[in-house]
Structure 1
């Protein structure tokens, strides 16, 4: 049997791409070594259509948000289980200057549906510290990432479409017909390895910056759980008085070990949002694949047309991956093209420099 695609990696990006290809009738085999501390399993799965401190709409939010909604709705119907929780996001102003920055940007129709309310003073929730007010953002929420990945993993295992093992690069052979891996043949192989792509001999030239992120789970009482909170960190309610707090950004020490410094930073920032006491019940760390220009990386290798990559979502994978996976699946099956902004062709000069230095 010859597979249409082998997908290496079953984190958020790989799982969404593999499911998308299968939904288009492609015969897909996934190879993935289970890693509980992977960035996808650690993440709180936040979907926020507003970008950071700049008070700008996330890049292509008008395309990404509906595609994400449709994809997660389809998965929920498929598995008959809730996996995406729609919740507004209360972005708390940290100063009068930040409030003024937002007020200067808020005019115009581009915010329609995204901004539910603007508060220029506290919303007067007794446990919330927001003296300068904030904005209530619509069309947000969070994906239960580890639950989604487990559902998709179980389905692939039941159908015999998942090899739960480390991918051994030395077992890969490129052929005129595609690739062979051990005794398996496929027309095409897609690497969805997250930050591990820095070790991939075919794609290590891509400008991936491994970035460590730490996340806390805390238990607290009498804290308003009707929305997600955002002020330097996100605070995501996950049920039974528990909240995920994150995330740190550390590109100097990209390992998967939680640190006392990370816990202290997150705890202090949470204390700036609520006056309630809390107990840390869990602490995780994972490594995200960040990209120099903050755009994902997708496309076919410049020389080896049997190989491609789908990577570099950083902290925006829940928002971006469904739309980009659909677009990439269409491109891989000859039914569409990729956005130039995400195509790896923008970095082909790095590949040729890499090859020239190698020779």
Structure 2
């Protein structure tokens, strides 16, 4: 690993203040990686904007900001610690000088052994760690000073050379700097689409390059599974312990991390099965048990944080061209070592973007051999086929229904198709989906012809969506989960079949019902099977069409269907 040049913040270039319809780069994601990259490109003279949704909590703000040379149950030295720590500490000290604020604090880590396995591993590693200055014994004076506060450990070891970064404070300074330069966009942006050519367009500005530094947001990208991301939810408790002053991390299974003024963080947990940002009672109970077994004195829980770390199988970050989108780059996969890994990675990526310097091979997405899944041509994708089928039936001035609004793509399509004299209703059970759809409709100036309703599509029969006598000519279903949302929240066979039955009673004569089903996620194959069985039971005069060439039965790729109702013969001239 080659050393990265030091970060020396410089004054803003005058060229940055000139408005233009095109700019060099858009960085998406307001965590540590995106914020450092945007500021570094700004220092290099690029016209760059940072887009960050202030309503979301990046993992950088949730985490403790620890930088530790010795980690893990086996007390291993962090790979490439020398160049990584050199770059990280130089950057953070430079920012302390630039912003005239303390951001970095040295720490020791008191590793109290949780079990015999840890004690055995420490004895094996101590012969290497102590001569190198990475470890020392716990002194009798230290044990005596902390005995009133902690249940005594069986044994332990002090790990040296660690640091704690005030990531929240640094992010605030970086965002204020960008905002003062007019380079901060306080909102989220949709993931990359299938755009032809390089770049990205947003808010009337064309960006030559776009870098996605969204952390867990990368999971909502098309083809996210072409890279073997390893997301995990981490949770911490904010704790007050009166009388305890501590300038070291106490680790016994979990960690107790000092924040100053008797405030601490306790954690973090790891949950690989549910990578979302929702704090859970299970993790709270786990951390409360840790505190109970660690402390002799009372503590007060003042907060509960949750965030998603995104790692990789080889525990190295990913920085390089997006495997599916030309002109787009990824900077992600830092796991729980973001404070250490990000500065070196960002500097390498900035040199690549500005100077054309090749990226280190260990960062490139191409190091993972999994090929992208084959996709049909754009005009043969199931969602496109469903819209093409609807376009054959739906006319300006008609009514239409999007029964699963999601991120609003089908809703906007229906609203464009029916025109200003038509009417569209869209519903979704998730508030995030309704908000995303409303944002899309507002940007496309279509909101005035759409009624949005937060509701379960399984309750379709009880909902009043249109005025009396108005029936939708087209009803669209796009099953599965909300892209970019909680993948555990999916459409279910029972509620979907109820919704489909209700849709048939609502549909206008000569209308069309389209369904796109996704068997590739947990629960999706069962829903597809239930849908296919239901379609085979529809009596005449309903007509069922399979749209496009369906893949083999065991394929995870989506399928599209259409159900058509012949026109009412009484309405014929």
Global fold match (TM > 0.5): yes
Equivalent residue, structure 1, for 2:158:
136
| 2:239 is the alignment partner of 1:221 | no
Aligned pairs (5 A) from 1:325-340:
325-334=346-355, 336-340=357-361
Which residues of structure 1 form unaligned runs of 5+? none
Distance 1:309 1:351 in 2: 17
| 1:99 to partner: Cα distance | 2.5
Equivalent residue, structure 1, for 2:137:
118
| Structure whose CA Rg is larger | 2
Equivalent residue, structure 2, for 1:64:
84
Higher RCO (C-alpha under 8 Å, 6+ residues apart): 1
Pick from 24, 47, 51 the counterpart of residue 27 of structure 1. Answer: 47
SS of corresponding position for 1:295 = coil
With normalisation by structure 2, the TM-score equals 0.58
- The two structures, once aligned, show a CA RMSD in angstroms of 2.5
| 1:98 to partner: Cα distance | 2.3
Equivalent residue, structure 1, for 2:197:
175
Distance 1:110 1:128 in 2: 25
Which residues of structure 2 form unaligned runs of 5+? 1-19, 377-555, 559-573
Structure 2 CA distance for partners of 1:174 and 1:32, relative to 1, 3 Å: farther
Equivalent residue, structure 2, for 1:148:
170
| 2:259 is the alignment partner of 1:251 | no
Structure 2 CA distance for partners of 1:354 and 1:173, relative to 1, 3 Å: closer
| 2:103 is the alignment partner of 1:91 | no
Q: Is the 8 A contact 1:173 1:181 kept in 2?
A: no
Q: Is the 8 A contact 1:219 1:281 kept in 2?
A: yes
| 1:269 to partner: Cα distance | 1.5
Give the length in aligned residue pairs: 356
Q: Is the 8 A contact 2:245 2:262 kept in 1?
A: no
Distance 1:168 1:77 in 2: 36
1:168-222 deviation digits (Å, cap 9, x = unpaired): 347885535x433341122211001111111112645222233111110111123
| 1:51 to partner: Cα distance | 1.9
SS of corresponding position for 1:325 = helix
| 2:109 is the alignment partner of 1:79 | no
Equivalent residue, structure 1, for 2:206:
185
| 2:60 is the alignment partner of 1:4 | no
Q: Is the 8 A contact 1:153 1:162 kept in 2?
A: yes
Equivalent residue, structure 2, for 1:163:
185
Equivalent residue, structure 1, for 2:444:
none
Structure 2 CA distance for partners of 1:302 and 1:106, relative to 1, 3 Å: same
Distance 1:270 1:33 in 2: 34
Q: Is the 8 A contact 1:172 1:179 kept in 2?
A: no
Q: Is the 8 A contact 2:110 2:159 kept in 1?
A: yes
Equivalent residue, structure 2, for 1:306:
327
Structure 2 CA distance for partners of 1:110 and 1:297, relative to 1, 3 Å: farther
| 2:363 is the alignment partner of 1:346 | no
Aligned pairs (5 A) from 1:11-22:
11-22=31-42
1:149-174 deviation digits (Å, cap 9, x = unpaired): 11111111111101111203478855
SS of corresponding position for 2:158 = strand
Q: Is the 8 A contact 1:37 1:284 kept in 2?
A: no
Distance 2:23 2:134 in 1: 42
